[in-house]
Amino acid sequence: IPCYKLYEDVDVIAFLDISQVTKGHALVVPKEHYDNFLSTPAPIMHKVFDIAQRIGQIDIQFLGAKGVNILTNCYETAGQTVKHFHVHVIPRYSKEEGFMLEMKAGAEGLNLPVIAQTIKDNL
C-alpha cells in the first residue's frame, strides 16, 4: 500500500488516507498504541490535534477547502473499526460531498438536567 506521508516526528505520523472521502483526506496517528481518543494521554492527544489543526489550516489556505471535518470514533457503536486512536482531517469543498451528520432537533424524552449534573460531577 503506498503511503503519502505528510508529517512525522517521534510521537505522531500523518498521511493521506487511501480511501479519500474528499481530496486531501488525511489521518493523524500516534505511533504508540492507544485504543481510542478516550484512552490516549493528554500530551499525545494534544500533539495529534495540533497536527490535525495545522493540516486543516493548510486545506483551507492551499487546497481551496471551504471547511474541514475533524473526526475520531470511540468504540464500535460510534463507528470505530480500527482499534488504534487516529483522527481524520476531511477537507470539505461543498456540503453535498462526502458525509454530513444530521443533528436531530430537540431533546424530547431526555432529562438534560440529570445528564448535565452527572457529567459535571465527574469532570
pLDDT tens track for 24-76: 999 999 999 999 999 999 999 999 999 999 999 999 999 999 999 999 999 88
Q: Answer whether 3's CB lies under 8 Å from 26's CB.
A: no
Give the CA-trace dihedral at 98, 17, 55, 94, to 10 degrees.
-10
- Of 19-28, 55-64, 94-103, the least confident: 94-103
- Catalytic option among 25, 33, 84, 86: 86
Can you say whether residue 97 is alpha, beta or left, with left for phi > 0 and alpha for psi between -120 and 50 degrees? beta
Strand 67-71 vs strand 26-30: parallel, antiparallel, or unpaired?
unpaired
What average pLDDT does the structure give for the chain? Answer: 89
- Looking at the structure of the chain, the number of domains it has is 1
Domain of residue 78 covers 5-122
User: What's the rounded mean pLDDT across residues 10-31?
Assistant: 93
CB atoms within 10 A of CB 23: 14
Q: Answer whether 89's CB lies under 8 Å from 68's CB.
A: yes
pLDDT of residue 99: 67
More confident residue, 83 or 99: 83
86 is catalytic: yes
More confident residue, 105 or 5: 5
Q: What are phi and psi of 99, to 5 degrees?
A: -135, 160
pLDDT of residue 113: 80
CATH of residue 89's domain is 3.30.428.10
Q: Answer whether 47's CB lies under 8 Å from 11's CB.
A: yes
